[in-house]
Amino acid sequence: MQQRGRRVGAGESVLRSWVGDLVVVKYLAGPDEPVDLDDPKSLAHGELETRSGIFYLQRFSQLGIEVCNEMEDGLLNRVTFIPWSAVLSIRGTMPEERRGPEGKLTREQVAELARRDPA
């Protein structure tokens, strides 16, 4: 099996071969609204929604995955943890999903690619 020119060896998972690369993730997330400060329990209320995006896969464990939006000057930009129970699908990216003008996709291009993702 190959992923972006690399061979996945015996005993190595495809997920492990994606660490450090861009992946397309669909996942469940809670409401995007801030917590109601007048609520004594300070709980956010709202429906779950399906979100998707193209992220750099940073790490994974038995609990879930850690992804970030982009890497700037070798530094991570806001790492997000997504538990496995919220991950609906994860897959490697295709060449057209990894490149944009100057090798970087715009936010709009990422959103459109994620929205069209059949996974």
Q: What tens digit of pLDDT does each residue of 30-46 get?
A: 877 666 677 777 666 67
Is residue 94 pLDDT above 80, yes or no?
no
How far is it, in rounded angstroms, from Cα 79 to Cα 89?
A: 19
The counts of H helices and E strands in the chain are: 3, 9
Residue 79 near residue 68, CB atoms below 8 Å: yes
Q: Domain containing 97: what range?
A: 19-31+44-116
Report whether 31 contacts 4 (CB < 8 A): no
Question: In this structure, is residue 67 part of a structural domain?
Answer: yes
pLDDT band at residue 4 using 50, 70 and 90 as cut-offs: very low
* Confidence band for 1, pLDDT divided at 50, 70 and 90: very low
- Dihedral pair phi/psi, residue 84, rounded to 5°: -55, -35
Specify if 73 maps to a domain.
yes
State the average pLDDT over residues 10-32.
84
Q: How many domains does the chain have?
A: 1
C-alpha to C-alpha distances, 111 to 40, 78, 85, nearest whole angstrom: 36, 18, 23
- Nearest CA to 27 among 50, 47, 59, 60? 50
pLDDT the model gives residue 119: 56
Domain membership flag for residue 70: yes
Residue at 38 is within a domain: no
C-alpha 51/C-alpha 29 separation (Å) is 7
Instruction: Return the beta strands (E) in 1-119 as ranges.
Output: 2-3, 6-7, 22-29, 49-60, 64-68, 71-72, 75-76, 79-83, 87-92
